[in-house]
Structure formats: structure tokens, C-alpha cells
Amino acid sequence: MNEVIGYEVSDGIAILGINNPPVNAVGASVRQGLSNALHRALGDDAVQAILILGEGRTFPAGSDIREFGKPPADPWLPGLCNAVEASPKIVVAALHGTALGGGFELALATHYRVAAEGARIGFPEVTLGILPGAGGTQRAPRLAGAGDALDLMLSGRAISVTSAEAAPYIDKVVQGDLRQQALSYVQELLAQGAGTRPTRDIRKGFADPIAYQKAVALRKEVVAKRPEIAPQEIVKCVEAAELLPFDMGLTVERAAFDDCVQSDQAASLRHVFFAERRAPKFPEISGQGASPVSQVGIVGGGVAGRGLALACLEVDLEVVLIERNSAALRESLGKINAYLDRLVAQGRLRGQARDDRGMRLHGKTDFVALSEADVVIEAVADDLKEKQQVFFQLDAVVREGAVLVSTTMRHDLHQIAGKTGDPGWVLGLDIGTPAHLQQVAEVMVPEGVEPAAVAALVALLRRLGKLPVRAEGRRAHIGRAVLGAYRHAADMLVEDGSTPYLVDEAMRAFGMKFGPFEQIDREGLREDRTLRRALADNGTLQGRQVSILDRLCEAGRFGRSVGQGYYLYDGQSPSGRADPEVIALIREERESRGIAARGFSEEEIQRHCLAAMVNEGARLLRLGVARCPSDIDVVMVHGYGFPRWRGGPMKAADLVGLWAVQRDIEQFAQQDSVFWSPEPVFDTLFKAGQGFDALNG
Ligand code: 3HC
């Protein structure tokens, strides 16, 4: 018997305990072990029923994702599920933790399901670019109908077993000791003479064929507009479930699964899954627990400070917000309170929780109020003198071991930290605005910082629900540097003959959430100009100058907030339309530089933009700012709208081929050899037959 599967017989019930920490993923050893245990139980006359459960924290949370993309090892999960379902002795699954993907499919193949009250079930496959491939697309709709089953599979959500949505899949929800409760349940079933109940024979979900087909048609229309392949395949499989006999449906599912799992999209999404888990593992944290944070100080009540305050209040932290005077404080607190009230009015926050947040927010104008804070985040205007003054004042009041954090985008952290008696407790943070809505946070770690300071800030960010990514250095930003390079490439394309509208369209078609110019319009052209200047100052953006943005600013076209930027916003087109004035201004600028306009295809635009991002990413790796390519990818996916299904720019480069990207950069260098200078790592990796993934170690 395989050691990952425990086997024990208790009162005629064989208990198959899956023991493959941390999440009991159904890898080859689990499949083999379960298969062996099933045969043993079936051959044992003393066994009347079989109970499958997960040891430790969960029932299996899915197949082992690390096996995807490798040759499949026998026995396969679909075959194992079929064998479980065909068992002549009743098989019961006892679920706890997160019974997801292949784990949930295994449960659906058993004859009865009992679940602990806190358990969650779901099909997260779609988030990995695949579909439930062990009968899930055929069994779930038999139990729940097409609409509910599709919603679960297409969303990838995990739902509580106590929810109405989960009811068709779960026979009994229990409290207390799951093992004991599950054994009692099996005994009850035996006492009642309950027989096997293969899900393949259940037709409850097909009771209303018209409703079934309508539900399929509706989702088919929705997914057809999405660039991802897996959702479309999921809908086809669920459609087949009703139209075809069960075994043929399984064949359709297998073919669709094979197509998806081998696709670039699935490879990219798997990459992001592991990248998200790699990113928060900062070397400073290994083996050391972080000191708990209960009070956070925030200096500055502008947009950035308010967002940080809201994020902290959301997770039960005490917040001390410092403003420079009572009027500014009143205004800032007023805006925070108004936001909380809006949440209540929209039904997104209960009155009691809103009051509780209000009680935990303490507005002050005196830095002394920060004496108990565990972490203090400075969010004042990005002016060196002002920031230095804040840190000088903080040094006088904060307790020993308090972590001090600057949100500077432009200045050297050492110049700021130098104003304190112990610079080893000063870190940088780039969380974007508004902070409470952001997913990713870059932690700037200068040399010589105390590991405990890093651990505390990372733990705080995890608690805030942010994905922390490490950026090493004093002026180190990953996302903003890559974004700057991307926007610079877009600028050059426009100056050389394209238009902001064509570039935006091409990048949306690539999968970016917004085109670069519509995004600048949203953020504000002045803000973007500040970013570009900061990047030019710290040596990130070098080479050819493009002044179109400056010219637009001179013309008062500051972006969406003023009704005009790259686009024109008015009652007729509130989301913006192309403006001939902008085209004329670009033409003038082009002519003044003696540039002969030429056209760029959608593909050329995409190649320029991707190459710029990747080359900048490679530069950040060379400088040691980014630890590994996958950190760059998660920052771009979570913070800057890069399509998750492309895996981030570095993964996208691996898939295109580094040689192709390098060749593009060399070709673009004919226009500007400074900006378009290929990083040496392309050559190194290419000659070793590797991609960026080799640096993710
Ligand atoms: N395969 C392999 N490793 C897995 C895994 C899986 N299915 N799920 C989690 N892990 C690993 C993680 O990589 C991590 O490893 P690390 O410690 O080395 O970084 C470790 O388990 C713990 O995972 P988390 O840090 O994510 O732990 P959490 O407690 O935060 O979350 C979870 C637990 C909700 C189960 C989350 O891990 C998760 O969502 N896992 C993926 C679930 C999933 O996608 N299942 C479907 C797989 S595809 C499938 O089943 C195909 C089938 O239809 C044929």
C-alpha cells in the first residue's frame, strides 16, 4: 500500500485517508494509492462501504498542477473516478477544507458526499487555463443543471458547502469531528440499505431540457467574447453532457482538456499561479515570524494616505492618520467617512462594521500620536525636503522597532532614511492608488535593512490582502519602470506614424486592460509626465526624447478629468473619442523633427510594446532590482493590466521565443540605439537553450 493513502477498516467501513500535504493534491502517488486501496477494499469481504477523506487541512484541492505539461502518469484521474463510481460497494466522500478541481471531481464520482460545515467546493481549473478534466463537466450538470454548474466552472469560485448553490452536490453538512460524523453517516446509509448511486445515471440536472439549452446558449455567447480558450471549451463540454451518452461526453471532455492543458494560455496561467506563491517569499522572512501589527500610522491624508487607511480599517487594524492641520485633517476624515457611508448605502458594508471602522480611525495633527504605532507609512507629496522632514519628526516619536515606510517614487530612500537615527528600519512601498483597491505592492528593500522590518511589512501587506513583491535597491520600482518603457515605446510608435488610437486598439487586442494612452488619460497627463521625468532622472528611460505628452500638457489637455487628453470626452462620448486636434499636434511634432510617417500593423505595435517591457524587465534583473522574471510578471499582471493568460511580459517573451524578441529589439535599434539596446541576458539564455523561466529557480 502506498504511504500517501492510509487504509483502515472500522465496523465494516474501509477508510481511505489521503495524506499528501500541504493540500492533498491528487498527484500520481495519490492516484496510485487510491486505486490500490479501492481494489483492496473491494476484495475485502469484511468491507461493506468505503469512505474517502483527506488527512490534515483539506480534502484534495485538485490535481497536482506541477504534473501538467509533463507526460501523464498512470493511473489517470478520470479512470480512477470512473472506477470509484463503478464500485459495487457504496463509496462516500467526506469533505473539509477546500475540495477543489480534481478533488471535487473525485467527490462527485463517489455515491454520497458529506461535508464539514466550513468546507468549500469549486472548480478553479478555468483560472489555470483548463477545464475540469476528470468527469466534472459531465457529472456536475447532472446534479445541478447547466446554469449553476457552468457558473461554478466559468467563475472558478470556491463556494461554501452550506450555500444554496452547493446543495445539489452535498448530501449532508455536519459539525464537529468530521471523521466520526462521516462514519455515522455511512452507517446510517448501510442501515437504510442505501445502494450505490452513480452520478453518471442521475438525470436531475436534465429535467428541463429547454432551460438547460438556454443556459448553455447564454454562456456560449458570453464566453465567445473572451480571448481565453478554456471557458469556451467548458461550455461545449457541458452542452455535450446533455446531448451525448456519459462515456462519449467524457471523451469530449478529455479531448478539450488535452487541447487546453497543452496551450500557451494554460502554461502562462500555471506560471502565474506559481509566481504568485513565489513572490511573497522574501529571503529576509525565511525561518522568522513577523512581529504582529495592530496599529498603523499614516502620515498624509491625500488620495494615497486615505486609500491606505481604508485598506487597514478593512482588516481590523487601528489607524492613526496624521495631517498637517485641523482643516486638512477634517477634509481627509470627511472623505474617508463619506466613502464608508457609500459602502453602507450600496449594501457592501453593514452599519455595525462601518461604525467599528470609524472607531478605529484616529485623526491627529501631532506626530506624538504615532508613539504606539507598529508601522508608520508616509504618504505626503513626493518632495524630498517634505519627506525628510516627516522622517526627522517620526524619529523623535516612534517606538523602538517601529517600521517606517516611505512611498516615494522619485527619491533615493537613503536620503530619506538618513533623517532617522536607525535607517535599518526604513523601507519603501509602491502600492499604487487608491491603495485599498490595489492587488500588488512592491516593497523597496534597500541594503542593510533589518530583516525584522521586512518581515513585519510583508506580513502587514499579506493581511491587507496585497501580494508583496520585492524590489531591491534605494530607488527601485519594477512596475513603474516597465510601464515607463512600454509607454515610451508607444510614444515612439505614434511619433513615427501611428496614432494613440491605433496603439490603444492594438494593445487592447493584445489583451491589456486599457491601451497605454487611454490609461494615461485616466491617470492624468501631468502625473505621467512626473513619472517619466523620475524614470529619466534615475537612468531608467534613456535615449530618444518624444515631446508629444509635453505638448498636450502645454495645451491644457491633462486627461479625462478635464475632458481632454489624448482623447476628447464630452456628453456625446463620455468614454472618449479620437480628436483631430491631437492628430494635428502629433503631425506638427513629427514634422518639426523631420520624421517621415509610416504605418504600423497591429502586430508590429504589439511587438514594439512587448519588446520594450521585456527589455526593461531584463535590465531590472541585471541590476538586481527584480529577484526573478516571475516577480516582474506578477507585478505587471496584478498592477498594470497585463493579461493574466499571457503570463506577464517575461513569460510572454519565453513563449514568443527570446531570439525573436532580441531580433525585434535589434531591428528597432535602427530608430534609437540607446533605448533599443538588447540586454545581454537574451544572448546568454538563448545560447544555453533556456528562457527567462530558467531564472525563476
Ligand atoms: N498542485 C500542486 N501544488 C499545489 C496545488 C495543486 N493543485 N495547490 C496548492 N499547491 C501548493 C502551492 O503551490 C503551495 O506550495 P508552496 O508552499 O511550495 O508555495 C502550497 O501548495 C500551499 O498553497 P497556498 O499557498 O496556495 O495555500 P493556501 O492555503 O493559501 O491556499 C488553496 C490553498 C486554496 C488550495 C490554493 O492553494 C489553491 O487554490 N490551489 C489550487 C487549486 C486548484 O487550482 N485546483 C485545481 C487543479 S487543476 C485540476 O484539478 C484538474 C482536474 O480537473 C483534472
| Rounded distance between C-alpha atoms, residue 413 and residue 388, angstroms | 10
Q: What is the pLDDT of residues 622-665, one digit of tens each?
A: 999 999 999 999 999 999 999 999 999 999 999 999 999 999 99
DSSP state of 564: B
pLDDT tier at 537, thresholds 50, 70, 90: confident
Atom of ligand 1 nearest to the CA of 58: 35
- pLDDT of 587 over the 60 cut: yes
Q: In this model, does residue 88 exceed pLDDT 50?
A: yes
pLDDT at 1 over 50: no
Q: Does residue 63 have its Cβ closer than 6 Å to ligand 1?
A: yes
- Contact partners, residue 253, CB within 8 Å, separation at least 6: 78, 131, 132, 133, 135, 136, 137, 138, 237, 240
In angstroms, the CA 272 to CA 634 distance is 7
Give the mutation target among 23, 68, 98, 127 for probing the ligand 1 site: most ligand atoms within 8 A of CB.
23
Q: Which amino acid is at 68?
A: F
H helix count then E strand count, the chain? 26, 19
Say yes or no: CB of residue 133 within 6 Å of ligand 1.
yes
Mean pLDDT (the chain, rounded): 95
Q: Does ligand 1 lie within 6 Å of residue 66's CB atom?
A: yes
Active-site residue, selected from the candidate residues 3, 55, 105, 666: 105
Quick one: average pLDDT of 463-474?
Answer: 92
Residue 73 has pLDDT above 90, yes or no: no
The pLDDT of residue 2 is above 60: no
Strand (E) or helix (H) holding 161: none
61 lines ligand 1 (CB under 6 A): yes
Task: Look up 125 and say whether it is catalytic.
Answer: yes
Q: Is 347 in the pocket of ligand 1 (CB under 6 A)?
A: no
Q: Quote the cell numbers at residue 289.
A: 515570524
Could you identify the atom of ligand 1 that is nearest to the CA of residue 123?
46
User: What is the pLDDT, as a whole number, of residue 534?
Assistant: 86
Indicate the pairing of strand 158-160 with strand 120-122.
antiparallel
User: What sign has the CA pseudo-torsion 74, 78, 79, 81?
Assistant: positive
Q: Which of 78, 90, 74 is nearest to 38 (CA)?
A: 90
- For the stretch 205-253, pLDDT in tens is 999 999 999 999 999 999 999 999 999 999 999 999 999 999 999 999 9
Other CB atoms within 10 A of residue 395 CB:
18
pLDDT, mean of residues 370-384: 95
- The candidate with the shortest Cα–Cα distance to 378, out of 324, 330, 333, is 324
SS3 content of the chain, % helix, strand, coil (to 5): 55, 15, 35
Rounded to whole angstroms, what are the CA distances from 259 to 69, 105, 254, 263, 283? 11, 19, 9, 6, 38
Task: Give the mean pLDDT of 387-393.
Answer: 96
**Any ligand 1 atom below 6 A from CB of 102:** yes
171 residue type, one letter? D
The set of residues, in sequence order, having a beta carbon less than 8 Å from that of 385 and lying 6+ positions away, is none
Q: What is the pLDDT of residues 413-451, one digit of tens each?
A: 999 999 999 999 999 999 988 888 999 999 999 988 999
The four Cα atoms 342, 344, 348, 354 give a dihedral, to 10 degrees, of 110
**Residue 140: CB within 6 Å of ligand 1?**
no
* The pLDDT of residue 373 is above 70: yes
Cell of 591: 514634422
Answer CATH for 480-696 from 3.40.309.10, 3.40.50.150, 1.10.3720.10, 1.10.1040.50: 1.10.1040.50
For residues 57-84, give the mean pLDDT: 94
In the chain, the percentage of residues whose pLDDT exceeds 90 is 91
Res. 288 pLDDT band, cuts 50 70 90: low
Over residues 487-531, the pLDDT tens digits come to: 999 999 999 999 999 999 999 999 999 999 999 999 999 999 998
Longest alpha-carbon distance in the chain: 91
Q: Ligand 1 center to residue 97 CA distance, Å? A: 12
With beta carbons less than 8 A apart as the criterion, state whether 125 and 146 touch.
Answer: no
The alpha carbon of 223 and the centre of ligand 1 are apart by a number of angstroms equal to: 25
Handedness of CA 176, 177, 179, 181 (dihedral sign): negative
Q: Residues 67, 85, 117, 125: which is the catalytic one?
A: 125
pLDDT at 287: 67
pLDDT of the residue at 214: 98
Question: By alpha-carbon position, which residue is closest to atom 10 of ligand 1?
Answer: 23
Active site (annotated) includes residue 472: no
- Residue 680 to residue 619: CA distance in whole angstroms: 9
pLDDT in tens, 166-213: 999 999 999 999 999 999 999 999 999 999 999 999 999 999 999 999
Ligand 1 pocket check for 125: Cβ under 6 Å: yes
pLDDT digits (tens, 9 = 90+) for 241-286: 999 999 999 999 999 999 999 999 999 999 999 999 999 999 888 7
User: What CA–CA distance (Å, rounded) separates 34 from 60?
Assistant: 12
d(CA 270, CA 262): 11
Distance (Å, rounded) from C-alpha 530 to C-alpha 536?
10
**DSSP SS3 for 120:** strand
Domain residue ranges of the chain, discontinuous segments joined by +: 5-262, 293-476, 480-696
- The closest-lying atom of ligand 1 relative to the alpha carbon of residue 63 is 50
Asked if pLDDT for residue 461 goes beyond 70, the answer is yes
- Residue 322 CA to residue 258 CA, distance in Å, equals 56
- Kindly report the backbone phi and psi dihedral angles of residue 395, in degrees, each rounded to the nearest multiple of 5, phi listed first: -55, -30
Q: What is the DSSP string of 305-360?
A: HHHHHHHHHHTT-EEEEE-SSHHHHHHHHHHHHHHHHHHHHTTSS-HHHHHHHHHT
**What DSSP line would sit under 614-666, residue for residue?**
HHHHHHHHHTTSBSSHHHHHHHHHHHS---GGGT-HHHHHHHH-HHHHHHHHH
Distance CA 439, CA 635 (A): 9
Pairwise CA distance, residues 525 & 517, whole Å: 9
Task: Considering only residues 443 and 534, tell me which one the structure prediction assigns the higher pLDDT.
Answer: 443
Please give the Cα distance from 544 to 495 (Å, whole number).
11
Q: Are 411 and 472 in contact (CB under 8 A)?
A: no
Return the ligand 1 atom nearest residue 124 CA.
44
β strands within 107-155, DSSP E: 112-116, 120-122
pLDDT of residue 161: 98
Least confident range of 20-24, 122-126, 428-432, 645-649: 428-432
pLDDT at 541: 83
Contact 411, 391 (CB under 8 A): no
Question: With 50 as the cut, is the pLDDT of residue 28 above it?
Answer: yes
Question: Under a CB-based contact definition with an 8 Å cutoff, are residues 397 and 376 in contact?
Answer: no
Count of CB atoms situated within 10 Å of the CB of 504: 25
Nearest one of 221, 276, 225, 271 to 645, comparing CA atoms: 271
Q: What is the mean pLDDT of residues 114-128?
A: 98
Give burial (CB, 10 Å; 0-12/13-18/19+) of 30.
buried
Please state, in angstroms and rounded to a whole number, the distance separating the CA atoms of residues 358 and 661: 52
CATH for the 5-262 domain, from 3.90.226.10, 3.40.50.170, 3.50.50.60, 3.30.70.2740: 3.90.226.10
Distance CA 469, CA 438 (A): 13
Cβ–ligand 1 contact at 504 (below 6 Å): no
Cβ-proximal residues to 169 (8 Å cutoff; 6+ apart), any chain:
104, 107, 108, 113, 121, 140, 143, 144
CA of 224 to the centre of ligand 1 (A): 28
Atom of ligand 1 minimally distant from the CA of 156: 44
Q: Give the pLDDT band (50/70/90) at residue 540.
A: confident
Q: Which CATH class is domain 293-476?
A: alpha beta
